[in-house]
């Protein structure tokens, strides 16, 4: 910066002003300084800037699973909203590894980001508490915080389950199956409650069987699908609520393509996330849509709110409603 100042025949203070408060500098001087900056290839040092200002204009976003398009949608929404308020969004993927998650939380903490958006797959209260205790703001996505610990943006996951089950019941299915795994993951727990509520509401004519999958990936879905295909026809549920799309697609594949169990005629299937690709799978998937983009936007809004209002901030939870998207795997 001193070099630039010398080259332009001004002081460093003026160079700084050209960069940060152009109105304070006369047009002629500013032009000279800018020319020198260009000629010398000067890049201001962000570390020094934020050392002085005590903050940055970046928001850190820690994502548990970048493979899942829901998380990608959240990142998209957050990015749009962040840029609208002059913040950059930095992404970090933990691949469901809590150690990595803690590392990234600390990294963002140490780099004094404006705030952190966290979309975890497990309870993360300790990490949140740690960086919050340093004054770092956190907004939790798709995972309810311990009451009063931070802001959060959730989807009404109970209603996700309810909508899925209700749709099957409304279209005449009476022997429902709920394929589920990873029951310690909070959104999954919530969905189950919704499924049960819909079944109870329907009365004794509708039954519910819970079918355990070992995990949430496609491979697990194939295993479940094969098991189901082996059942006697009368023993098969006529409607399946599947807790994730990846699982649902794999089950459809085993049932419909490989085993000849027709979807939706024999078994109607509803997925719970409406991931990218849900519409182009073997049988386009009826699914409950999670509004990922909007979640990201809301999260940034809450974060900037908290940053702006300082001490008198009150934590808020925004709950967005899911929406059923009807496709061929469980038609109207």
Partner DNA sequence: GACGCGTCTTGAAGCGCTCCAAAGTCTAGC
Partner DNA sequence: GCTAGACTTTGGAGCGCTTCAAGACGCGTC
Report the interface residues with a second copy, using CB under 8 A: 41, 43-51, 56, 58, 66-67, 69, 72, 75-76, 79, 83, 88-93, 95, 100, 103-104, 106-107, 109-112, 133-134, 218, 249-250, 253, 257, 276-277, 279-284
Q: Is 275 in the site for DNA (CB under 7 A)?
A: no
Q: Residue for token digits 């969905």? A: 191
Pick what 75 binds: DNA, a second copy, none; C-beta below 5 to 8 Å, kind-dependent: a second copy
Beta bridge partners of 119: 63
The residue range among 46-54, 92-100, 262-270, 294-302 that interacts with DNA, by the rule CB under 7 A, is 46-54
Sheet containing 207-212, strands listed edge to edge, beginning at the edge strand earlier in sequence = 207-212, 175-180, 239-242, 268-271, 286-289, 323-325
Near DNA by CB under 7 A: residue from 31, 35, 39, 53: 53
Q: Which residues contact 115 (CB under 8 A, 6 or more apart)?
A: 59, 60, 136, 137, 138, 139, 303, 304, 306, 307
Q: Is 12 in the site for DNA (CB under 7 A)?
A: yes
Q: Is 25 in the site for DNA (CB under 7 A)?
A: yes
Pick what 1 binds: DNA, a second copy, none; C-beta below 5 to 8 Å, kind-dependent: DNA
CB of 284 to a second copy, least distance (A): 8
Q: Is 48 in the site for DNA (CB under 7 A)?
A: yes
Beta bridge partners of 175: 207
Residue number with CB closer to a second copy (72 or 198): 72
Count CB neighbours of 172 within 10 A: 9
The residue range among 14-22, 58-66, 137-145, 174-182 that interacts with DNA, by the rule CB under 7 A, is 14-22
Burial annotation 204-234 (CB, 10 A radius, 16+ → b, else e): eebebeebebeebebebbbbbbeebbeeeee
Q: Is 58 in the site for DNA (CB under 7 A)?
A: no
Radius of gyration of the chain (CA): 26
Instruction: Quote the CA–CA distance of 275 and 292 in Å, as a whole number.
Output: 10
Pick what 13 binds: a second copy, DNA, none; C-beta below 5 to 8 Å, kind-dependent: DNA
Q: Is 55 in the site for DNA (CB under 7 A)?
A: no
Sign of the CA dihedral with 291 first, then 294, 296, and 298 last: negative
Residue 38 buriedness (CB in 10 A; 0-12 / 13-18 / 19+): exposed
Residue number with CB closer to DNA (54 or 148): 54
CB of 247 to DNA, least distance (A): 46
Near DNA by CB under 7 A: residue from 31, 35, 39, 45: 45
Residue number with CB closer to a second copy (133 or 312): 133
Q: How far is Cα of residue 227 from the mean position of the Cα atoms in its chain? A: 31
Q: Contact positions toward DNA, by CB under 7 A?
A: 1-2, 9-17, 19-21, 24-26, 28-29, 42-45, 48-49, 51-54
């Amino acid at each position: 910066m001193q070099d630039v100042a010398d080259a332009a025949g001004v002081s460093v203070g003026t160079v700084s002003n050209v960069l940060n408060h152009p109105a304070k500098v006369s047009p002629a001087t500013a032009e000279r300084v800018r020319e020198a900056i260009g000629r010398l290839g000067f890049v201001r040092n962000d570390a020094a800037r934020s050392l002085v200002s005590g903050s940055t204009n970046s928001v850190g976003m820690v994502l548990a699973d970048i493979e899942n398009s829901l998380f990608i949608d959240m990142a998209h929404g957050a990015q749009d909203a962040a840029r609208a308020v002059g913040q950059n969004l930095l992404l970090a993927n933990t691949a469901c590894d809590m150690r990595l998650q803690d590392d990234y939380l600390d990294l963002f903490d140490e780099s004094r980001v404006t705030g952190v958006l966290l979309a975890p797959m497990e309870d993360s209260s300790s990490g949140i508490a740690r960086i919050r205790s340093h004054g770092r703001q956190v907004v939790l996505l798709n995972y309810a915080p311990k009451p009063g610990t931070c802001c959060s943006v959730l989807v009404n996951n109970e209603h996700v389950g309810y909508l899925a089950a209700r749709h099957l019941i409304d279209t005449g299915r009476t022997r429902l199956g709920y394929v589920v795994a990873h029951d310690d993951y909070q959104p999954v727990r919530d969905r189950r409650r919704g499924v049960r509520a819909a079944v109870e509401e329907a009365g004794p004519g509708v039954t519910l069987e819970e079918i355990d999958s070992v995990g949430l990936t496609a491979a697990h879905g194939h295993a479940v699908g094969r098991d189901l295909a082996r059942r006697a026809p009368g023993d098969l549920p006529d409607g399946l609520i599947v807790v994730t799309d990846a699982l649902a697609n794999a089950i459809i594949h085993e049932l419909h393509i490989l085993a000849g169990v027709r979807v939706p005629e024999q078994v109607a299937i509803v997925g719970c996330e409406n991931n990218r690709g849900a519409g182009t799978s073997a049988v386009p998937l009826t699914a409950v849509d999670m509004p990922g983009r909007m979640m990201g936007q809301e999260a940034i809004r809450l974060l900037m709110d908290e940053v702006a209002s300082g001490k008198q901030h009150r934590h808020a939870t925004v709950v967005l409603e899911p929406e059923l998207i009807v496709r061929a795997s469980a038609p109207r």
